[in-house]
Amino acid sequence: MTAKTPISRVETLPDRPWTEEMLRESATQFQLLFEHNPHPMWITDLETLRFLAVNDAAIQHYGYSGEEFLAMTLKDISPPEDIPALLESISRPTHGLDRAGTRRHLTKNGTLLEVELTSHTLSFAGRRAALALADDITERRRAERSLKESEEHYRAVVENVADAIVITVDTTPVFANNAFLALHGLVDMSQALGSSLEQLIIPGDAPLVKERMLARQRGDPGASVYEYRIRRTDGDVRTVQASSVAITHKGEPAVLAVLRDITERRHAEAALRRAHEELERGVQERTVELSQAIEILQEQIAERHKAEDHLRRSQEQLHALSTRLLSMLEEERIRIARETHDELGQALTALKIALAWIRQRLPADQKPVQDKADQMAHLIDTTVQAIRRIATELRPRVLDDLGLVAALEWHVREFQDRTGVACAFTRSPEDIVVDPARATTLFRICQEALTNVARHANATRIDLSLTQAGAALCLEVRDDGRGISEEAMADPKSLGLMGMRERVLPWGGDVHIRGIQGRGTVVSVHIPLGKKEAGLSGAPP
């Protein structure tokens, strides 16, 4: 007993000493038994249910002080709903030790306790009393309940999980869930629990599984997840994946294995792998086809490049040839014009002088002969004129003697006289000096342009201008005729226009022709200055 609950309270009830006989019998034993008992103990009056004595453990456990206890009855520590049962059990006549069973009690602070009550009826001062020992089993019950709950949870999980679960001892199943039965095609749990690995697993895989399970049971480290094939009772072979863990079953080392049917997964994986391989093969084939196509394409491109090179080279050769021919033509014209003019002219002049000499010496009466000689002289004059004209047409002397500007002026005047089309020639600056080769080019182009106006334009007026702007010469021939058509410009048979373009090519120049229907045609020629073109001549030697 603690200091808080002195022995006197146990020894005595108010007013009346009650323990004299009892204490006389075994005061020391009772005191030890009652006071130092670790379980709450009390004595109650069976009539009034009043507490007659309580021990220290009761005070500690229930939270009431000794005085409070002695002022209370058993009903005060019972939940109201339990009171009828309490009264009923007390009214039952009992003798000696009575395991009163489980009771619910309330502590002072309202905590509900579950106690296993052992009571003994005794006679006390002529009254019926009960000595009771309360074993608080609240915690034990709570632990039992939670154990039961968790066992129920575990059972629910194991029974309802889709994976097969089996516990084996020395590879023999001692527990299995329904999924395990379903996996193996078994109908009865006894089939599973009595089975051996060899009955369930295909022969090839059984030894390995056995070895793994035993190793796991021994607690050896190693792969805890592995695959093997089982043969179901219907003969179907399935692939399972097992993951196992070492446990204790009824004190024995055992193995808990979770099995999952991965047959479909393996099939799907295999199908996927096949599809992947097929795709890969397809891609490879396509890649080969594609690279072949690319090769062919590259060959074609190379061939086309070769053809283009070839074309370009032959075009360049053609340009060179045409340049050379134009140049030769010009030289030939110069030579023929000079020889015709000079040699034929001289010969005819000599002929005319000789004829005049003969004419003077003819007798006066020889009138018919004199007339013949006069006719001959006249014929020689017209022949000389014809030769001059032919020579000029071949190569106007003025171009070589006085240069481009004078030659153009002369040619324009001559054209106007011949065709009746009004011509105006302007130049800027006044004193343009052009080298003989460019002069020949520009003169010939102008000749062709004017000829075209006369032949095709039906024009009434021509404006011709020669300008030197910056480092280029520009010749423009503008008429007010019908206007050149697009078709004529694009026509490969338009050799005159092509000739114009060919003539400027060696200079890196260009020819622009544009026509507006009914309003005339403009031919503009640009030739850069400075560059010397070796292949061209046009100047007199």
Binding footprint of ligand ADP on the chain (CB under 6 A)? 452-453, 455-457, 479, 481-482, 484, 488, 494-497, 521
What is the number of other CB atoms lying within 10 angstroms of the CB of residue 399? 25
Residue with smaller CB distance to ligand ADP, 352 or 501: 501
Size of the site for Mg ion (CB under 5 A): 2
Return left, alpha or beta for 193; rule: phi > 0 is left, psi -120 to 50 is alpha, else beta. alpha
Classify each residue of 436-454 as buried b or exposed e, where b means 16 or more C-beta atoms within 10 Å of its C-beta.
bbbbbbbbbbbbbbbebbb
List 496, 499, 528, 540, residue binding Mg ion (CB under 5 A): 496
Residue with smaller CB distance to ligand ADP, 376 or 488: 488
- Cross-strand pairs, 26: none
Closest CB 521 distance from ligand ADP, rounded Å: 4
Residue with smaller CB distance to ligand ADP, 375 or 485: 485
Residue with smaller CB distance to Mg ion, 94 or 447: 447
Determine the Cα–Cα distance for residues 107 and 474; give it in Å rounded to an integer: 127
Residue with smaller CB distance to ligand ADP, 163 or 502: 502
Closest CB 447 distance from ligand ADP, rounded Å: 11
452 binds Mg ion (CB under 5 A): yes
Determine the Cα–Cα distance for residues 539 and 400; give it in Å rounded to an integer: 7
The item of Mg ion, ligand ADP, none sharing an interface with residue 479, based on CB under 5 to 8 Å by kind, is ligand ADP
The item of ligand ADP, Mg ion, none sharing an interface with residue 521, based on CB under 5 to 8 Å by kind, is ligand ADP
Binders of Mg ion among 168-207, rule CB under 5 A?
none
Residue with smaller CB distance to Mg ion, 53 or 450: 450
Closest CB 482 distance from ligand ADP, rounded Å: 5
The item of ligand ADP, Mg ion, none sharing an interface with residue 456, based on CB under 5 to 8 Å by kind, is ligand ADP
Determine the Cα–Cα distance for residues 272 and 33; give it in Å rounded to an integer: 80
Closest CB 499 distance from Mg ion, rounded Å: 8
Closest CB 422 distance from ligand ADP, rounded Å: 15
63 binds Mg ion (CB under 5 A): no
Burial class (CB in 10 A: 0-12, 13-18, 19+), 517: exposed
Classify each residue of 249-268 as buried b or exposed e, where b means 16 or more C-beta atoms within 10 Å of its C-beta.
eeeeebbbbbbbbeeeeeee
Residue in the shown chain whose Cβ atom is closest to ligand ADP: 496
Eight-class DSSP state of 114: E
Q: Which stretch binds Mg ion (CB under 5 A): 158-166, 224-232, 371-379, 489-497?
A: 489-497
Closest CB 394 distance from ligand ADP, rounded Å: 19
Place of tokens 């024995």: 252
Residue with smaller CB distance to ligand ADP, 133 or 454: 454
How far apart are the two ends of the chain, measured CA to CA in Å?
155
Burial class (CB in 10 A: 0-12, 13-18, 19+), 353: exposed
521 binds Mg ion (CB under 5 A): no
Residue with smaller CB distance to ligand ADP, 373 or 522: 522
Closest CB 457 distance from Mg ion, rounded Å: 11
Eight-class DSSP state of 99: E
Binders of Mg ion among 131-150, rule CB under 5 A?
none
Structure tokens at 419: 């065709």
The item of ligand ADP, Mg ion, none sharing an interface with residue 338, based on CB under 5 to 8 Å by kind, is none
User: CB-based contacts of 350: which residues, under 8 Å, 6+ apart?
Assistant: none
* Cα torsion angle, 502, 507, 508, 514, sign: negative
Residue with smaller CB distance to ligand ADP, 278 or 393: 393
Structure tokens at 348: 């005819």
Residue in the shown chain whose Cβ atom is closest to Mg ion: 496
Structure tokens at 430: 């006044």
Closest CB 455 distance from ligand ADP, rounded Å: 6
Contact 514, 538 (CB under 8 A): no
What one-character-per-residue DSSP string does 18-65 give?
--HHHHHHHHHHHHHHHHS-SS-EEEEETTT-BEEEE-HHHHHHH---
Closest CB 524 distance from Mg ion, rounded Å: 17
The item of ligand ADP, Mg ion, none sharing an interface with residue 244, based on CB under 5 to 8 Å by kind, is none
Residue with smaller CB distance to Mg ion, 452 or 521: 452
Closest CB 494 distance from Mg ion, rounded Å: 8
Q: Contact positions toward Mg ion, by CB under 5 A?
A: 452, 496
